[in-house]
Amino acid sequence: MLLKDKVCIIAGAGSPRGIGYAAMQIFASHGATVIGCDLVMDGIRRAELIDGLKSSAGLDAQVDFMACDITKAADCDAMLHDVLGRYGRMDGLVNCAGIVESRGMLDIDDDSLDRMLGVNLKGAFTLSQSVLRQFVQQGHGTIVHVASVAAQRGGGLVGGSHYAASKGGMISMTRSIAREFGPHGVRANVVCPSMTQTSMLDGTVNDEQHARIVSDIPLRRAGQPQDVAGACLFLTSDLSAYITGATIDVNGGSHIH
């Protein structure tokens, strides 16, 4: 039980095949109360997601979902206010919310660039600001942002230069948070997954391309959402109590640097 009695928010957790949802599963099975958020969360969707988590993480799993658009400060503040009102504390944030788009640099128009930076970078910034105010007040807290190998390699399998830039910004921002808020007892780290089997990859690689990519990965398989979730668990738990400002690769050895 690595997160017993901790209350954690996981942003971008509304897809049962996604990294955020996998993080909710493993966090709940390690004793945390976990609140997932995503852009859209009506009553039926919320009930289905909770049922799914309880059947995998255990019937006593403490999980809930809320709607929150991380690009909106009012949404982020309202979510935090609600979580604090209901549970009385908030210990960890994992930010898996993100969008991707495959386009050549010269085909990326203003709208597309604004949308990409708006969600992946500005959204991460806005959400971090909301939780940091609380973390400073209470003198502890952890943040894990999910960036991408695209930021390290210069573009990814699916993401264009705007995606890579947004994720690179996330890494820089996380390092700044670690430096500025370490004295307040706050840790901030970032994980960089490579190709991970979620709906983000749907329709982007055919079987032949997939086999070719996998044959170049030292561990000879694509990443699974649970692989990334496990790194998030480690970085949120006290096992990583002296780790902050770190970038953790979850890439099967495909980018060793």
Ligand X SMILES: NC(=O)c1ccc[n+]([C@@H]2O[C@H](COP(=O)([O-])OP(=O)(O)OC[C@H]3O[C@@H](n4cnc5c(N)ncnc54)[C@H](O)[C@@H]3O)[C@@H](O)[C@H]2O)c1
CB of 57 to ligand X, least distance (A): 17
Question: Which burial class, exposed, middle or buried, applies to 2 when counting CB atoms under 10 A from its CB (0-12, 13-18, 19+)?
Answer: middle
CB of 68 to ligand X, least distance (A): 6
* Bridge partner residues of 38 (DSSP): 67
Pairing of strands 186-193, 247-250: parallel
Please, which residue, 231 or 238, has the CB nearer to ligand X?
Answer: 231
CB of 103 to ligand X, least distance (A): 15
242 is catalytic: no
Name residue 56's amino acid. Answer: S
Residue nearest to ligand X (CB): 98
Catalytic-role residue among 21, 87, 163, 242 = 163
d(C-alpha 237, C-alpha 6), whole Å: 9
CB of 82 to ligand X, least distance (A): 15
Please, which residue, 141 or 193, has the CB nearer to ligand X?
Answer: 193
Q: What is the binding site for ligand X (CB under 6 A)?
A: 11-12, 14-15, 18-20, 38-39, 68-71, 96-100, 119, 123, 146, 148, 193, 195-196, 198-201
Name residue 160's amino acid. Answer: G
Please, which residue, 140 or 220, has the CB nearer to ligand X?
Answer: 220
H or E element at residue 63: strand 62-67
Burial readout 36-59 (b: 16 or more C-beta within 10 A, e: otherwise): bbbeebeeeebeebbeebeebbee
Burial readout 113-128 (b: 16 or more C-beta within 10 A, e: otherwise): bebbbbbbbbbbbbbb
Would you please indicate which residues are annotated as catalytic (active-site) residues? 163
